[in-house]
Amino acid sequence: MNTIVDWRKSVALTGTVVKYLSVAMLVPLVVALVYGEDAGVFGVSIVGTVLLGLAVERLDPGTELREREALLFVALTWLAVTVVGAVPYVLAGMGTESTLADPVNALFESMSGFSTTGATVMGEIGVGAHSHAVMMWRQVTQWLGGMGIIVLMVAILPELAVNGAQLISEEAPGPTLEKLTPRISETARILWQAYFAFTVLLAVLLYGLHLTGYAPNMDLYNAIAHAFSTLPTGGFSTKAESIAAFSAAVQWVVIPFMVVAGTNFALFWYLFDGEVGTVFEDTEFRAYAGATAVFTAVLFGLLFSGAAPTLAVGGTTEGALENALRQAAFQVGSLMNSTGYATSDFAQWEAHGQLVLLLVMFVGGSAGSTGGGVKVVRWLIVLKTLRRELFHASHPDAVSPVKLGDVVVDEEAIRGVVGFTLLYLLLFGVAAVFIVLDAARVGIALTPMEAIGASLAAIGNIGPAFGRLGPFGSYLMLPDTTKVVMILLMWAGRLEIITVLVVFTRSFWRR
């Protein structure tokens, strides 16, 4: 049997993406020059990234990018940008006690950034020990990974527009891709424009709170940094205490933007075009909004009744009500769409409060959003399919198609959704067992909740887990083998699993 995948084309195009990654490094370079920190690190990184990209581009055989090469290109690109993105961390950490001087830790932080996971190996000491430029690079990696590096490349590179629909579908979160315009490159530009506009709006609002005295420590640097990690549902913060380090006003402003980030961005095209009814008639959006409201109400009741006694404010009912509602709305908005921000250490909450959050983490955002997880539309299809099977048990001759609103879901799509969901749960379970056993191998006793949370946080691109791996902790304590497995889980989770796993199968490379 002969190989039919021309890897040179995929690798060459990956080199093109790597070359353009140097443009993103100009942001931390500017920050480095402003603060007088680590300018050399990003200067060297930019030059090295350009030279590497140009060298790899030379492998281009001049052929067209076919279906399998496109799959390989997407998988390779995300791995390559992670490796290149780790270089500034290693360079900045050389000669210091920084945890990121270790290549495995640097790769973990880089993959966590680009995949918008938000899991970190820095911890409280590490966050404060790094320069403004390095911390801003973390935020930039999340912003690039949110709407998608490939989506951006399709928007600006004509040579990728030919296969643009397939490339975007392999990268975009969720099982569906809505083509908003006749040209897929124009659709990609529209998505990025909406993404950019929401990012700018959030940054302006956060800095406005600072100027008006409602957020004393939300200066321009922090406003931009947190806008860069909110819209991609990333969760990295410049503070070890995450959003808890900022005022309640900041937290209330961030909540709706996290909900927006978990919404299908295609719906904003209709909203801006005046088709408001299309948005509210969308089945997935209604389910997403409904689930957010229900989980928030349940968690609010638990918090107010004592699931987290430390949330009480000044002993007043009004203060406790506001605080419980804010904490509930924030954590549901953060974990349901995989942002991973935290306004309190939910790892210290009582078990029933944590179990609600664990359930929230399984839901995920909407297809076409920047959110992670299984996705709301998949759960809708799975539940409707199960209901149909129960109906067929007593009505075997009935014909009952699965519908989302007025749209009939074809059987091939249903098989794909059910297969993905089962594979997601299987990988999650196997990884959780591995994490427990591997930690025990080096003398670290993880609780079941910590291991389950770590596995789900990686494959769902969520970030924080529970216990010592919670929102104010870090993954530094875990052995390198576990970190490597989590890197692979974050990579697979961001690309919807199949895109990554398929390139490791023999059938992918053979006729």
Q: How does residue 314 score in pLDDT terms, banded at 50, 70 and 90?
A: very low
- CA separation, residue 246 to residues 6, 215, 342, 344, 489 (Å): 51, 7, 11, 11, 31
User: C-alpha 37: how far from its chain's center?
Assistant: 28
Closest listed residue to residue 121, CA positions, set 368, 509, 479: 479
Average pLDDT over residues 227-256: 95
Q: How does residue 47 score in pLDDT terms, banded at 50, 70 and 90?
A: very high
Burial class (CB within 10 angstroms; exposed 0-12, middle 13-18, buried 19+) of 423: middle
Tokens of 172: 């975009």
Q: How does residue 49 score in pLDDT terms, banded at 50, 70 and 90?
A: very high
Does residue 169 carry a pLDDT above 70?
A: yes
Average pLDDT over residues 190-198: 92
Local structure of 3: helix, strand or coil: strand
- HSE toward the beta carbon, residue 3, CA cutoff 13 A: 9
Q: Higher pLDDT residue, 162 or 447?
A: 447
Does residue 478 carry a pLDDT above 90?
A: yes
CA–CA separation, 505 vs 511, rounded Å? Answer: 12
**Predicted local confidence at residue 339, as pLDDT:** 93
Q: How does residue 197 score in pLDDT terms, banded at 50, 70 and 90?
A: very high
Local structure of 125: helix, strand or coil: helix
**Predicted local confidence at residue 1, as pLDDT:** 42
Average pLDDT over residues 34-41: 94
Looking up tokens 């290109």, which residue turns up?
Answer: 73
CA–CA separation, 343 vs 322, rounded Å? Answer: 13
Q: How does residue 279 score in pLDDT terms, banded at 50, 70 and 90?
A: confident
What pLDDT digit, counting tens, does each position of 376-423 carry?
999 999 999 999 999 988 888 888 888 888 889 888 889 999 999 999
CA–CA separation, 131 vs 138, rounded Å? Answer: 11
CA–CA separation, 442 vs 421, rounded Å? Answer: 32
DSSP 510: B
Long-range contacts of 87-92 (CB under 8 A, 24+ apart): 87/45, 87/48, 87/49, 88/25, 88/28, 88/38, 88/41, 88/42, 88/45, 88/134, 88/137, 89/134, 89/137, 91/41, 91/44, 91/45, 92/38, 92/41, 92/130, 92/131, 92/133, 92/134
CA–CA separation, 25 vs 168, rounded Å? Answer: 23
**Could you give phi then psi for residue 352, rounded to 5 degrees?**
-70, -35
- HSE toward the beta carbon, residue 250, CA cutoff 13 A: 26
**Predicted local confidence at residue 253, as pLDDT:** 97
Average pLDDT of the chain to the nearest whole number: 90
DSSP 349: S
**Predicted local confidence at residue 320, as pLDDT:** 82
Does residue 5 carry a pLDDT above 90?
A: no
**Among 51-65, 249-263, 483-497, which stretch is predicted with the lowest mean pLDDT?**
51-65
CA–CA separation, 52 vs 153, rounded Å? Answer: 18
Beta carbons of 508 and 5 less than 8 angstroms apart: yes
pTM (2 decimals)? 0.93
Q: How does residue 179 score in pLDDT terms, banded at 50, 70 and 90?
A: low
**Among 94-108, 116-130, 330-344, 490-504, which stretch is predicted with the lowest mean pLDDT?**
116-130
What percent of the chain lies above the pLDDT cut of 70? Answer: 93
DSSP letters for 298-347: HHHHHIIIIISGGG--TT-HHHHHHHHHHHHHHHHHHHHTT----SS-GG
Beta carbons of 510 and 1 less than 8 angstroms apart: yes
CA–CA separation, 53 vs 496, rounded Å? Answer: 26
Beta carbons of 428 and 493 less than 8 angstroms apart: no
Sign of the Cα torsion 119, 120, 121, 123 reads negative
